Structure 1
Amino acid sequence: MSDAPRDPDCLFCRILAGEIPAEVVHETEHVLAFRDIAPQAPTHVLVIPRGHHENAAALAAAEPLVAAELLTAAAEIARLEGLAGYRLAFNTGAEAGQTVFHAHLHVLGGRDLTWPPG
């Protein structure tokens, strides 16, 4: 498991600690994946590292193998959900729409996804 600390004020760290319930769909030693509470597609799963890192760039710099594991987990989630196609998105920084400052990967699918999003 990651040696990265957890932030007691972080929503995702509180989910990891079991303080806040989540519908878990996949987990490994290094990542946890759960359904988004405000889904933007029929399938909308968040994949997070177990250690607290502010965003995807910080995670990649500190734990590149865990960053890669988020992508591996996303592919497994897509397979389990039966998605023929899916979108992966990291929002990094408030200007990009990041609202929880714990690195997380969105797995979206289950309908046609237009581009550009939003």
Structure 2
Amino acid sequence: MSDASYDSNNIFGKILRGEIPCHRVYEDDDTLAFMDVMPQAPGHVLVVPKAPSRNLLDADPTVLSKLMPVVQKLARAAKDAFEADGITIIQLNEPAAGQTVFHLHFHIIPRHEGQPLKAHSGKMEDGEILATNAEKIIGELGN
């Protein structure tokens, strides 16, 4: 278990409640996937459970059992949509590991040989680019 409790006012909680917009890629009863506004590569997607979970350490195993197939599905779609050579999956737990948003989330990042990840700099990507990239992934999901 983590040292702190879940705070529903985190940015992903606000996105889940519709208080902050996002470029949605996938949604079901338990999960939401949307474009990272500060992508480290084109097609960088975030997958979050709708259930309140600070991170992997305190998540209910039932939540994880519903989340992981969606992570896999989105990883396949992002790889195909961006003709990537591979996929990086990142999941951080607690500040010492680099977690800055305290709602469980997985980063799915399409990767190409020889292209390093961009820094998570704080500079937001243009919304039109995010929308276009979301459509590419949605197209691979068959929606």
- TM-score class, shorter: 0.7 to 0.9
Q: After the TM superposition, which parts of structure 1 deviate over 4 Å for at least 4 consecutive aligned residues?
A: none
TM-score (norm 1): 0.79
Query: Do residues 42 (structure 1) and 42 (structure 2) align?
Result: yes
Unaligned runs of 5+ in 2: 1-5, 120-143
Unaligned runs of 5+ in 1: 1-5
Q: Tell me which residue corresponds to 1:29.
A: 29
- Identity of paired residues, percent? 36
Shift in Å, 1:92: 0.3
Shift in Å, 1:114: 8.1
Larger radius of gyration: 2
Q: Aligned letter for 1:64?
A: P
Shift in Å, 1:8: 4.2
Matches within 5 A, 1:80-95: 80-81=77-78, 82=80, 83-95=84-96
Q: CA RMSD in A?
A: 2.3
Among candidates 61, 67, 70, match of residue 70 of structure 1:
67
Count of aligned pairs between the two proteins = 108
Q: Aligned letter for 1:109?
A: P
TM-score (norm 2): 0.67
**C-alpha separation in 2, matches of 1:39 and 1:104:** 14
